[in-house]
Structures are given as structure tokens and as C-alpha cells.
Amino acid sequence: MGKERFKEILNSELQRLDESNVSKRKENIIEKFVSIDGRAKKAVVDNKEYILFNSNDYLGFRFNEDIKKAEEKAIKKFGSGPGAVRFISGSLKIYKELEEELAKFHNAESAITFSSSFAANLAVIHCFIKGQTKSSLVGREVLVISDELNHRSIIDGIRVSGLSKENKVIFKHLDYDHLNQILEKNKGKFSRVLIISDGIFSMLGEYADLKKIQELAKKYDQYYEEGILTIIDDAHGVGAFGETGKGCQEVCNTKPDLIVATMGKAFGSDGGYVVGDKIYIDYLRESAATYIYSNPTSPGTAAAALKALKILQSEEGKRLLEKLKQNQKYFKEKMKYNGFRFAADSTHPIQPILIGDSKKTRELTNKLFEEGIIVTQISYPVVPLGKDEIRIQISAAHAKEDIDELIEKIVPIAKKLEII
């Protein structure tokens, strides 16, 4: 038997996922993109064209000619890959330029980039749990408090940190009274606290009340010897939310200690980053395993992200952010008018349409696919069982006609499936 037995076990697990309509591995293979005047680019799958409503490319930057040119230029100058991790064979200047611009954009002292924001979250959580003084009050003195709907990279960051049960607490989603109770109950019992939350919650498009979190951190800071550090993952917020695209920081008009975000969504590029006070960023550069032992993104990717950031701060960026907002409103009003229910009242381009049943949700996404529209089914374990949704993601690249086409096609299918 041996390994054959293991393969049998894996096979039955894959079958179980298929039968429960939640498997994800049968991905659409996009052969290319095609342009239609004034409309969002269409993806070509098996020679058929599809409008995408499931991309994080909120501003359409991944097809921006200036961004592509900046990437090409950097490849010519620095080569196609980083060569090694940054401290070994020298850090390419483009990474420094990008970090300086990110810090400036967020009005922070300093920034550090990573290969992804998943890697950035692992680093932040691990490093700031680990950076302990010798004067600990209790055995392992850090308490981590995390919103129950935080992204998987935060969950895994906490899991791999090796903290014991007593050192990690989950607070109810967006329930800051609960967070207050936890901070009150643990006064004096730990020397340091990390409060960690998504900014925009990726499955629902809701956002955390960063002002409230900061107020609570301030109120209770004195009761913990090394204070309270607030960490916000705003991967979906940056470039898509707020008057100038600074995300939840801007919408809530406050500044968490550390913001983690990605360049792989609204920036149309790739890689993750962290911004905050220089002391935190210096410490990360010295101690984050996913920085020290793992390559950065390629120089072309960094240059594309830098160019995207510059465009975001220009008149064109303002225009795109405004168009994104208008598109999102237009979509939501039309969907509401047609009787769809939303899993949350989101003002972000992530618009979650609540379906509930996984089979119906799969049928809906399959039928839309037949009609030339790709949306994503979000199912367990990403959302709780029985709370399946389709996550529609609006982009500034969508034309009104794209949104109209989606609605014209989804309404009769949803009626037939008795969703509306």
C-alpha cells in the first residue's frame, strides 16, 4: 500500500470537494484579452470572450500602457529577476524608490516591500509577537486580538506563530464592544497587545472602523507594559477606496501603527508592503523571514507598481477613482431594483450577492459563464457553510454597457433559480 493509500485518501477528499460544489481547482485558462472600444477588456477562454466581474484590478491598471512601459524599461535596466534576496547581492534601486513613494503616499515614516501581502502579514505578525523584552510579566506575554473574518494570511500568521490558546483571542466581526471587553478583561495580564483587522473585508466589502480601533488602543495602551500595536491589512482598500485611494486610513481619517497592503490588486502589479514608523520597518528588515529568506518581486513588477502609484496620485488617478465610485453605485442600485440581496452593505467595489445554497450558487455562476460573464462563487471555507455568495467586483475599466449586460443576463437566470 504505502503511498498508494495516501493517494487514495487525497482522491476521496478531492471527490468530496467536487460533490459538495465547492472545489476550486478547475480554473478558467485565459488565453488572451481582447479590446472592445470603451469597454472592459474581455478574457478569451476556449476561444470564447468573457467580461470579467471577478478581478481585483479596480482601476484597470494591469492594461495601462504607461505602466507596461515602465515595467519594460526596468527590465532593460535591471534584468528580469532580482538575482537574490535583497541583503545578499544588493538591493536594486527600484525597490528603494518604490518604498519611498509608498511611505510618502501613506504619510508614514517608512515602508518595506515583500513578494506578496500574504508574506507581509506572516512577517508582521511573527516579528511583533516575537520581539519580546526580557521583562515579561507572564510566560509568553503577547496577546493577539483578531477580527473573526480576517484574511487567511492573518489567520495563518497567528497559527504559525506558535502562541498558546491563552495568547490569542478572536473578536466578533466588527464588534468593537467585544474588542473593548477583551482589552478590559486582560488589563495587566500581558505586556503587549496586537490588534489585527482587515481594512476592507475581502468577502463582503465592509470596512473596519479604524477610528474606533485606534481609540480603544489609545484607551488601553497604558494598561499593557509595551502598549498596543494596531495592524490593518488593507489589501483591497488601497487604490480602490477613499477620495484619493488611500483606503480605510483615509475613509476613517486615522492612522494605524502598521498598514499591510498589496500591489497585486488595484496597482495592477504584484507584491506586498508594510508602512509604519521607521523603527518597526527597520526591525522587520532585520527579522522577517519572508523578507530575508525569500526573493522580492522582479524589478519590472516593482517599477509597474511605482508607476501605478504615481498615476493614482495624478489627475488620471482621481478620474479613475471617481469612475469606480460611479460604476459601483450604478451597479448596486440596479441590482437592488431587481430584487437581489446583498450579504453586506458595501460601498467598496466588492459587492457580495447573497445566494446561500452552494448548488444554486454554482448553477448561477455556470449559467452566467455560458452567457459570457465570469463571476466567482465564494463558498466554504472562505465563507460559512450555507452562506455562499457571488462576489461581484466592479472596476473603473467597466463601461456602463458592461454592467448593463451583466444585469440583463443575471436577472432571468436568478428568477429561474428563485434567487430573486
Ligand X SMILES: Cc1ncc(COP(=O)(O)O)c(C=O)c1O
Q: Which residues of the chain form contacts with ligand X (CB under 6 A)?
A: 116-118, 151, 153, 198, 202, 233, 235-236, 262, 264, 272
The one-letter amino acid at 348: H
Q: Which of 202, 358, 379, 395 is catalytic?
A: 202
Nearer to ligand X, 202 or 346 (CB): 202
Please identify, using beta-carbon distances, which residue of 264 and 296 lies nearer to ligand X.
264
For the CB of residue 37, give the shortest distance to ligand X in the complex, in Å. Answer: 31
Taking the complex as a whole, the smallest distance from the CB of residue 36 to ligand X amounts, in Å, to 28
Nearer to ligand X, 191 or 269 (CB): 269
Residues 53 and 373 sit within 8 Å (Cβ to Cβ):
yes
Cα separation of 319 and 311, whole Å? Answer: 10
Angle subtended by helix axes 315-337 and 299-312, to nearest 10: 80
C-alpha 317/C-alpha 319 separation (Å) is: 5
Question: Whose Cβ is closer to ligand X: residue 206's or residue 233's?
Answer: 233
Q: Which three cell numbers stand for residue 66?
A: 504607461
List 41, 106, 265, 323, catalytic entry: 265
Query: One of 236, 307, 323, 387 is an active-site residue; which one?
Result: 236
The least CB distance from residue 398 to ligand X, in Å, is 20
**Separation of alpha carbons 350 and 248, rounded Å:** 14
Give whichever of 220 and 267 is closer to ligand X, judged by the CB atom: 267
| Minimum distance from residue 200 beta carbon to ligand X (Å) | 7
134 is catalytic: no
Is 236 tagged catalytic? yes
From 319, 299, 330, 301, select the one nearest 399 (Cα to Cα). 330
Total residue count of the chain as it appears in this document: 420
Q: Is 202 a catalytic residue?
A: yes
Cβ nearer to ligand X, comparing 240 with 281 = 240
Which region, left, alpha or beta, applies to residue 13 given φ > 0 means left and ψ of -120 to 50 means alpha?
alpha
CB of 359 to ligand X, least distance (A): 25
CB 211 within 8 A of CB 174: no
CB of 262 to ligand X, least distance (A): 3
Would you name the residues annotated as active-site residues? Answer: 202, 236, 265
